[in-house]
Structure 1
Amino acid sequence: MDLHLAGKRALICGGSSGLGRAVAEALAAEGAHVALLSRDAAKLQVVADGINATATAKAVIVTADLADHASLLAAVDTAEGLLGGPTEILLNNTGGPPPSGVAGLDPELWRTQFEAMVLSVFRLTDRVLPGMKAAGWGRILNVASSSVVEPIANLGVSTALRSSVAGWAKTLSIEVAADGITVNTLLPGRIDTPRIESLDKATAERRGVTPAEARAESIKTIPVGRIGTTEEFGAVAAFLASPKAAYVTGSLIRIDGGAIRAI
């Protein structure tokens, strides 16, 4: 299926690895030009080189700290200059906090994580929206977590902050629908990324088992019987970023192998 993404310009947060990298590669395979953003220039360059070697689309890199407002907005300016025009597809994708509950946490931890995980998403989106509105077309995708629908034990901070992004995204989708802009939130379950590996290690330490045993136990909770691949995640994101998904907006899209038990 041709997703009609050739020549579109995408800004991919967290593009150096994991889910962000997968989305960038999926979009580039469809002909979209991608600007990869994270703090690690070396890792970004590896991904960009791989895309440029195999795809007809162009990949460029920009570095920024999501919690640093000035550097973030400057990075968008640089990305749009390198790609030759306003951002048409934005993937909001932030790192997750350390595992924890929510009771008794230092307010500074909440403030720091809110800045990086929530406020950066608001700022980035507000920065690119005028260009999308002027063009009468845009796609905003937010990477959240299955915990938005079904909270996950020991991921309290992540659940709280990603849920706030989901609420904001639903509201925004209503505000910009008439401008030809869709806003959707992706809810990954257990996808094979470095983040899942780190969570398995934390679970193993807490339970006194090996990481492999912790992973095996988690797989038992997934109806399809395995962990998802980043390529599967990227494929869903690419469709939602395409003109073919114009009637899908304000949605929470589960990519979890059926693990969420709620209807």
Structure 2
Amino acid sequence: MDLKLTDQRFIVCGASSGFGQAIAKQLLIEGAHVAVVARRGDKLRDTFGHFEDQTEIIEGSLIYSETLDKIETAAKSGAFHGIVFNAGGPPTGTPLQTDMKDWDAAWQLVMRWKIDLSLRLAPLLVEKEYGRMLFVESKSVKQPLPALTLSNAFRAGVVGFAKTLSTEVAPKGVTVNIMAPGAHDTPAIERVIKNNSSSKGISSEKAREQMEQNIPVRRMGTAEEFASLAAWLLSPHSGYVTGQTISHDGGAIAGLFG
């Protein structure tokens, strides 16, 4: 299928590894231009060097206004068709293992910058009467995960914001969707495996095996599989899909609307 992304222009946050990197690569393969954002500019240059003519490097942490300013400037500098909100998650821990410093930091890391950037960029898409906004969160927004208290709370808040935003901008041709990944073989899964290994007193290999056995397809997903769905949601083909939280979890969520 031709996704009709040739010469469209996107911003992908957290593009130095994992889902962000895979999504950016898929968009580039489809012929899009991508502004890739991450703290490590050297990693971005190494990863996307062979797409030099199609990429713009934005270096900086997403929790800082200076980085959001750079992203806003890039969005205003020419054609702009959509953005992928993606970043790492907060530390693991049960509710009683957290303190208010943890909550303040997680608010900055998981939720605040996404709201700030949405308020900056959504009006640009509304003005052009076309756009795609995609939030990469977690299956925890549908089924909270043990010992991921901070992620459970703030990612659910992001979904509430995104769903509400979707109804406001839909009449102007702008879609807002959320992807809810389960276990994928990316760097981010290692902290979950480490936590499971420590809490259960088992090896990392055994913890990984147990996770995979709890997934109906009996394996973890790949970032490339995830990116293929993301690219479709960012394409013109997805114009009738908005306000949705779409799982990509190998069937792991038990509910009817998983």
Could you say which TM-score interval applies, normalised by the shorter chain? over 0.9
3-state SS, counterpart of residue 15 of structure 1: coil
Pairing of 1:246-261 with structure 2 (within 5 A): 246-261=239-254
Equivalence for 1:227 = 220
Unmatched 5+ stretches in structure 2: none
CA separation in 2, counterparts of 1:129 and 1:97?
26
**CA deviation string 1:127-169 (max 9, x = no partner):** 1112211211000000110011011101111010000000111
Equivalence for 1:200 = 193
> Which of 231, 237, 242 lines up with 2:235 in the alignment?
242
* TM-score where L is the length of structure 1: 0.93
Q: Which amino acid aligns with 1:48?
A: F
Shift of 1:43: 1.0
Unmatched 5+ stretches in structure 1: none
> Which of 61, 84, 103 lines up with 1:65 in the alignment?
61
Equivalence for 1:46 = 46
User: Contact 1:87–1:128 (CA<8 Å) still a contact in 2?
Assistant: no
Is 1:171 the equivalent of 2:164? yes
Equivalence for 2:85 = 92
> Which of 112, 118, 140 lines up with 1:119 in the alignment?
112
Shift of 1:50: 4.0
> Which of 107, 124, 131 lines up with 1:138 in the alignment?
131
CA separation in 1, counterparts of 2:67 and 2:3?
33
> Which of 164, 175, 179 lines up with 1:182 in the alignment?
175
CA separation in 2, counterparts of 1:51 and 1:232?
21
Q: Which amino acid aligns with 2:59?
A: T
CA separation in 1, counterparts of 2:97 and 2:31?
48
Q: Which amino acid aligns with 1:165?
A: V
CA separation in 1, counterparts of 2:148 and 2:54?
37
**CA deviation string 1:7-43 (max 9, x = no partner):** 1111000000000001101111111101110111111
3-state SS, counterpart of residue 103 of structure 1: helix
3-state SS, counterpart of residue 236 of structure 1: helix
Equivalence for 2:31 = 31
Shift of 1:103: 3.2
Structure 1 stretch displaced more, 227-236 or 113-122? 113-122
3-state SS, counterpart of residue 96 of structure 2: coil
Q: Which amino acid aligns with 2:122?
A: L
Structure 1 stretch displaced more, 32-41 or 67-76? 67-76
User: Contact 1:14–1:36 (CA<8 Å) still a contact in 2?
Assistant: yes
CA separation in 2, counterparts of 1:217 and 1:262?
20
Shift of 1:104: 5.8
CA separation in 1, counterparts of 2:80 and 2:95?
36
CA separation in 1, counterparts of 2:63 and 2:146?
26
User: Contact 2:15–2:37 (CA<8 Å) still a contact in 1?
Assistant: yes
Q: Percent of pairs identical after alignment?
A: 39
3-state SS, counterpart of residue 112 of structure 1: helix
Q: Which amino acid aligns with 2:31?
A: G
- Distance change (3 Å), C-alpha of 1:75 and 1:132: closer
User: Contact 1:73–1:127 (CA<8 Å) still a contact in 2?
Assistant: no
3-state SS, counterpart of residue 205 of structure 1: helix
| Aligned positions, number | 256
CA separation in 1, counterparts of 2:127 and 2:49?
32
